[in-house]
Chains A and B, each alone.
Chain A
Amino acid sequence: MKRFLLPLAVFVVLVGFLGVGLKLDPREVPSPLIGKPAPDFSLPQLHNPEKVFSPKDAVGKVWLLNVWASWCGGCRDEHPVLMRLAQSSQVPLYGMDYKDRRDEALTWLRQWGNPYPVTVMDETGRAGIDYGVYGVPETYVIDKTGVIRYKQIGPLDEETVQGKILPLVQELQQK
């Protein structure tokens, strides 16, 4: 009986590790950009391509940057959450339309609603590279000084918004 104890213990430890491993999402790579200034860009606005928007325009307020595209399925999933977030007007939510076509993006927003006061077009994906975007949708929380405080990879859900994003936003707004 005793001789089985050690293999059993090893087995239990291994199962423990594998169990934890199963719960981890390999797509959630920690971003090196957290705590760093939000990379600068100056991109044309989706609804008004003659005008540009840059993160500098938002200095002084806490804001969210949501990277989306009309071709992205996950964006459709998180869209109702973003609409509710925009309606609560607790924090401005800016959009970055990533590697998309303007007409398709405009149709998408007309169809499902537009939660963004301003959306910029990153047609080449170059600004996306600076933000380390690799899985649209992605959402960044940027503080008053323009530093990235949080990055969400993949669709936002109500739980994340209420439990993580909004408490962080409130904390940053008080600073």
Chain B
Amino acid sequence: MKRLLLVLLLVPWIAAAEETWPSADNARVEARLKALAIELRCLVCQNQTLADSNAPLAEDLRREIRAMIARNMSDKDIIEFLVARYGDFVLYRPPLKATTILLWLGPFVLLAIGGMTFVLALKRRQRKLAAVVLSEEEHDRAAQLLSEGTRRS
């Protein structure tokens, strides 16, 4: 039983072995790969990062990035390599350009519009409230109702 458990424990390692075998000498490479891969989009399954995806293309690209890291290329050069092939879309943080300005500033514009609408609505409400004047009778009636409410509860 114990031996079986041990074998079962090893299974995930066997599954992982196909792609990488974490070892001391490539730990540094893996760390850099991971830092890069979480910033990059897998183009096959577009809502996953290159780090998360199991698509064959993601595997190939990780292999390619590993090779580039081994050749001592800088992160900037590696990202340029991918952008030259797949476009800005591979980046989870698209660069600020004329074509992406709406993407970057749009949410803030919407927030400003929302904020302004909120302030205007509040002001209008305040004006309406101030216009309501209670007569003495109404005031007494309100006080009576409120005190009944407290007694009941």
Residues of A within 8 A of B (CB): 26-27, 29-33, 99, 124-126, 128-135
Chain B 40-67 interface residues, beta-carbon cutoff 8 Å to A: 43-44, 46, 56-57, 60-61, 64
Known: A125-B60, A129-B60, A134-B57. A31 touches B43 (CB 8 A): no
Of B60, B83, B85, the most chain A CB neighbours within 10 A belong to B85
Number of A-B contacts (CB under 8 A): 42
Q: B residues bordering A, Cβ < 8 Å?
A: 43-44, 46, 56-57, 60-61, 64, 83-89
Docked CA distance A128–B86 (Å): 11
A129–B56 CB distance below 8 A: no
Whether A135 lies near B44 (C-beta < 8 A) is yes
Q: Is the CB of B43 within 8 A of A134?
A: yes
Q: How far is the CB of A43 from chain B (nearest CB, A)?
A: 16
Contact yes or no, B43 A135, CB < 8 A: yes
Task: Determine the chain A residues whose CB is within 8 A of the CB of B84 once the complex forms.
Answer: 32-33
Residues of B within 8 A of A131 (CB): 85
Given contacts A99-B56, A134-B43, contact A32 B61 (CB under 8 A): no
* Residues in A whose Cβ lies below 8 Å from that of B87: 29-32, 132
Give the chain A neighbours of B89 by CB distance below 8 A. Answer: 29-30
Q: Judge whether A130 and B85 touch: CB under 8 Å.
A: yes
